[in-house]
Structure 1
Amino acid sequence: MKAKTIKGNSLKEIESAFNNAISDGFKPTLAVIFLSVAQDREAICRLLEKHEIDIFGSTTAGEFIDGEIGEESVAMMLLDISHDHYKLVHLETGSSQTLAVAKSIGQQGLETFSNPAFIIASGGISTDGEMIVRGIEEAVGPKVTIFGGLAGDDFKMSGTYVFTNRHYSINGLVVIILDEDKINVKGLASSGWEPVGTVRTITKSEGNVVYTIDDQPALDVVIKYMGINKNLDEWKDVIMNVGSEFPMQIQRENAEPVIRAPLFANKEDRSLVCAGSVPQGSKVRFSLPPDDSVIDKVVDECETVKDKELNEAEAMIMFSCKARHLSLGPMVSEEIDRVKNVWNAPMIGFFSYGEMGKATKGKHEFHNNTCSLVVLSEKK
């Protein structure tokens, strides 16, 4: 497997970079494209389709191939991976539930490879990422390898998309199914947010919608917790702040807490819509954002993965939460560069609205406010 990364701020710049990348005879079979909703994804896809390249694409809330973070730009990774080692799948959610669609993808994985791994991007602002992981697990089993992220839209919160060949506006899922008997698929999901304050109870919720916390409207609770007196007409700013600075941590027995961040609120019933499920009855604590020490933790965990699981990488894909970007600020560029330097391999990534990956002490699951990294190499 060989990988090259390119980036640009327009179709013209991407076309020039692409032509330069293939000028030495490099013939990619698969392109990973992370781009702003402001870009013409159809035109960029047509450029690649002329060369019969498969496309795994997602809109973003910021994209990168190194520590220089793009704004309303395009980042692309070109891979020459064998067609026998992967399958590209896309399904629109339509009237079907996310759980059922994800289970179908898991079944396709098993029909294609005896040991499938999944890299996923999901469109749809209110998609419950937990259902994606659960659906694939129901089909494949609890030890299945899953990495990915929920698409972004430059933090406009109006419409996110994933796309692939000749399908440019998919509100469902696009998936790279990899043959783990042929491809090493390793990685980690790391957060760094620390719990603070008293334990609270989710007293009413349904799926990823939280209605009350300690029998109080959920939006009122987070506004009070933040110590502000915001007019509810400014609810979007409130959610932006609580999502990036004070996400909820669901407490679990015999497992690390899992973070859930609100994506937006309903002013009428003052509920919160999160990126993943928050079961009724859950015990939660709010969080404090990490300081620069969290970067050292992420890098140390990457070094552990390198030493114990995969010493050499040929490609790296990062799904990093937009809330993490807002909280860490300029330090997030340092995190990206330092993680890339652990393996010194081509890397692409984007800022997402939810992440899938493997915690250091757990299985592959859905996260918020997390940096999820997947590292790939062909088995020799």
Structure 2
Amino acid sequence: MRHQVLHFENGSWQLPEDFESQAYEVAFVFLDPEIARSTEAFSTLSALMPNTQVIGCTTGGEIANRQAYVGGGFAACLGFDNVSVQVVEADIGAASESAALGEKLAASFTGGDLAGVFIVSDGARVNGSALVEGFRKILGPHASINGGLAGDGDRFGETLVGYRGALAPGKVVAVGFFGSGLRLRTGSFGGWEVFGPMRKITKSDGNTLYQLDNKSALELYKRYLGDEADKLPGSALFYPLQVSNPANPADTVVRTILGIDETTGAMTFAGDMPEGWTAQLMVGETNGLIEGAGKAGLAAAGGSADSFAMLVSCIGRRLLLGQRATEEVRAVVDALGGIAHAGFYSYGEISPNGFQGTCNLHNQTMTVTVFEAA
């Protein structure tokens, strides 16, 4: 397996003298939103690597060189033997289209022996859990589906995704890896703690929550946040919700608010908030999050020294950790044995559930996908 991490610095990509673009089948580009909008970083790399499938997105922060960055630009270039790469893409206009779009994209892949899929999706218009459900419906419940939702820093505005030519809002790109030459190892973990009463979701519509215990969910949430309520939706990053299936308590996911509507009382999340499930507030502290990141790395560890790790963590974790965000990156990389890596901070992480094994959308987790030559 071949890999190279490139750095966009001082207006250009820093290419090593021995860089051979034809050595790589796919490149994932992670760009700070300002860099993506004010430079030609994405299209320039696409032109430099005409024989490579180049996929990119804006972020809530970038990961490379054992560090967490804000305002950076990196590209993870990957090359394989006995592996074929297929890329499919589509536009999405509204969250209600997510499940059907996932099915459409998954059905576009051809051939057998699928090692795994890595998705890079718009982070503002999509219902991430419905998107993944669409992929699962076509590829099967145990397919390795990984990736993340693009970010727009801590602004929660427009996010950009692209394939080859240009970055644009409302795009979903999925990369399928086929063949016997690749094995994927995965891990995901949060490190947040639940607190307060467990409440029942009594009114919701997809990824929009209206009521908990037949009361306004927004008003309940504001009551817990106190003075922080005036800073919504940004302050919600520090107080996510753990959502659980009462029929199977081990089936839990973490959800973070992406937006609120004061008029209707609606709270929009990155993934589904199913009626009948329970929701409980969570809170994090830095040591717990760093320890959780290390556990995600341990779950994916065991690969060879020339493996490559893709790290996708949550914007909420970066904001809470602040200057200590680099510590969670190093906890993961150390657990993986120091292998090469890159990644980004997202608006939602796609990875197998650590307990059930099926893939889903997560919030507030560190997720790890290790690409290893089989």
Instruction: Give the TM-score, by structure 1 length.
Output: 0.89
1:346 equivalenced with 2:346 (yes/no): no
Amino acid at match of 1:331: R
Match of 1:262 in 2: 257
CA contact (8 A) 2:100 2:134 kept: yes
- The answer for unaligned runs of 5 or more in structure 1 is none
* Map of 2:6 onto structure 1: 6
CA contact (8 A) 1:66 1:336 kept: no
- Whether the 8 Å contact between 2:293 and 2:329 is mirrored in structure 1 is no
Q: Does 2:295 match 1:296?
A: no
In the alignment, what sits opposite 1:376?
Answer: 371
User: Which consecutive residues of structure 2, in runs of 5 or more, have no partner in the other structure?
Assistant: none
Q: Deviations over 1:93-127 (max 9, x none)?
A: 24781111111222223x23332411011114131
Q: d(CA) in 2 for partners of 1:137 and 1:302?
A: 24
In 2, Cα distance between the equivalents of 1:118 and 1:176? Answer: 5
* 2:115–2:182 Cα contact (<8 Å) kept: no
The one of 21, 40, 44 aligned to 2:41: 44
**Are 2:314 and 2:365, in contact at CA under 8 Å, matched by a contact in 1?**
yes
Q: Residue 89 of structure 2 aligns with which residue?
A: 90
Please report how far the alpha carbon of residue 26 of structure 1 lies from its aligned counterpart in structure 2 after TM superposition.
7.5
One-letter code aligned to 2:34: A
Distance of 1:37 and 1:229 partners within structure 2:
26
Report what 1:72 is aligned to. 71
Residue 360, structure 1, aligned to residue 354, structure 2: yes
**Deviation sequence 1:132-158 (CA, Å, 0-9, x none):** 110011101100101111100112222
- Greater strand content: 2
CA distance in 2, matches of 1:181, 1:107: 21
Number of the residue aligned with 2:201:
202
Other structure's SS at 1:227 match: helix
The alpha carbon displacement at 1:46 in A equals 3.2
Q: Does 1:320 align with 2:316?
A: no
1:219-234 aligned within 5 A: 219-228=218-227, 230=229, 234=230
Contact 2:244 2:278 in 1 (8 A): yes
Q: Distance in 2 between matches of 1:77 and 1:143?
A: 26
Structure 2: which amino acid aligns with 1:262? Answer: I
CA distance change for structure 1 residues 229 and 306 in 2, over 3 Å: closer, same or farther? closer
CA distance in 2, matches of 1:208, 1:147: 20
- Pair 1:82–1:250, CA change in 2 (3 A): same
- Residues 73 and 25 of structure 1, relative CA distance in 2, 3 Å threshold: closer
Q: Distance in 1 between matches of 2:145 and 2:76?
A: 19
Cα distance in 2, alignment partners of residues 87 and 165 from structure 1: 13
Q: CA RMSD in A?
A: 2.3
In the TM superposition, what is the alpha-carbon distance from 1:170 to its structure 2 partner?
4.6
Equivalences for 1:54-203 in 2 at 5 Å? Answer: 54-81=53-80, 84-94=83-93, 97-109=97-109, 111-179=110-178, 181-203=180-202
TM-score (norm 2): 0.90
State the 1:260 CA deviation.
Answer: 0.9
1:355 positional shift: 0.6
After TM superposition, give the deviation of residue 304 of structure 1 in Å.
4.3
Q: CA deviation at 1:85?
A: 2.1
Partner amino acid for 2:348? G
* Runs of 4+ off more than 6 Å: none
Name the aligned partner's letter for residue 136 of structure 1.
F
Kept in 2, the 8 Å contact 1:355–1:366? The answer is yes
Structure 1 residues 290, 21: closer, same or farther in 2, change over 3 A?
Answer: farther
Q: How many angstroms does 1:246 deviate by?
A: 1.4
Question: What letter is aligned with 2:287?
Answer: D
